[in-house]
Structure 1
Amino acid sequence: MNMAIISGTLNGFCGHSLSEQGRVVLMDRVDIKFLVPLALLESCLTGLRQELTTLDLDGRRTFDYDTLYFDTPERRLFLDHHNGKLNRFKVRLRHYRQSRITFLEIKQKTNRLRTVKARTLLSAEASPASTISTFLKGQPALPAARMQPALFVQYQRATLINPAGSERITVDTGLAFHSPDRRRSVALPGVAIVEIKSDRQAAHSPMHERLLEMGCRAVPFSKYCVGSSLLFGTELKTNQFKPVLRAIHGLCN
């Protein structure tokens, strides 16, 4: 399934605006992720047209994302995740290609298993290095001075919301991972990452129920950790990520 087919499927949904989507920003949330074969994605989405709406900006319903993750030279943030540490962090620059805006974001997984995100707009006039340094200094748990580019990720995203509840769903396809110097790259052409985000675990989630009906199961999936494992697996500790890596291999081959 290519992006044209996904876009065609999304055209069957009612659209919503950015301002409508703003009511479910969910900077402090619980989330759950699913690996979905692209062959199942169309039928999964089609069955939810009456319950979800999709972001529509001037007729466009899928959007390009470019993300640069940062870590220390010894990959402390990667290892914190691998070792199951709570109160762990991800640091990234996220560029929205269509709107041409970039945010510096810090994601924290708390000891209550909630995802808390803080971000600041990276202005065209400001120095990226200066903005990053200033923002990270407000996070004493992060070694701001030692952060460096660690992984570049590209993908296309569709965003759906449930008008009846405080839930946002993202559908990411076309994932591609690159080393910062672009000498190593790997793509995941057969996989969609569906993430359900809510202020608390919903008693009724149409997308969650639909995915379970189709035999999809939740997986712990971090783009940063999965991409790093795929590109640098011989150099990193990756034992905890092997189940999801095997699942990805099965879907892409």
Structure 2
Amino acid sequence: MDGDRASGSQSEALGDLVGWAARTGWGAARVGFGLIKQLPGGVEAERGFRAVERVVATGVRQWLDDVESSPAQAADDPVRPAEEAPKPPDLRERMAELLHRSAMTGREEAAEDLYSGILRLLTPDEARILAGLGDGSAYPVLHVAERGVVGGTARFVLRNGSTVGRAVGVSLTEEVPHYLTRLHAFGLVEMGPALPDQDDQYELLQTDSRVREALRSSKAAKPVRRSVRISALGARFWRRCVGPGEVG
């Protein structure tokens, strides 16, 4: 009976010592082996401790092997810089085709490619405006500019309001400023000075809803009179698309 109690006390002491060693790390645990051996049953405890150490070491090695052999997680992958990202094959093929065609194409085919590309960009309303300008006619244009401080640059509240939209019958008259801006960017129309003897048309243009809204946006907003007509490129494009002498 006394022997069992003594053995239990010794086991508890061993358990406390092993627990302390585990909490303080494997290196500290090894330091405690000398003390463990001196207690009854210490040799068996050391063997158990060594077995646990081997199991843990084996598990760690296996885990490291798995990590090294497994594919990298997408979340851990470094972000590839934009300049290093491979271009889609279709873009490379298309660029190569264009470069090849540029070396083999004559003037006529190059012009056809240019005009075909422009035509694909036009909306029906924009085509109608171009048709209205195709005979060389010019139409009033109003910009609305907010005067800056002395020596400063004026800020445009609205560009390219024009009577041409209503004159040719576009569907979206409120989008005429946008249409003219696009046609100008394509190089199909050009802006010029105000048209003489067109005061009534400029006054009428100031009643347009977009122009009125722009003029009311600031006390410093003032109308700037200009005009729009077809450009040299626009004339060549129009002739190619509709034929010589044809108008909209």
TM-score calculated relative to the size of structure 2: 0.23
Higher helix share: 2
Higher strand share: 1
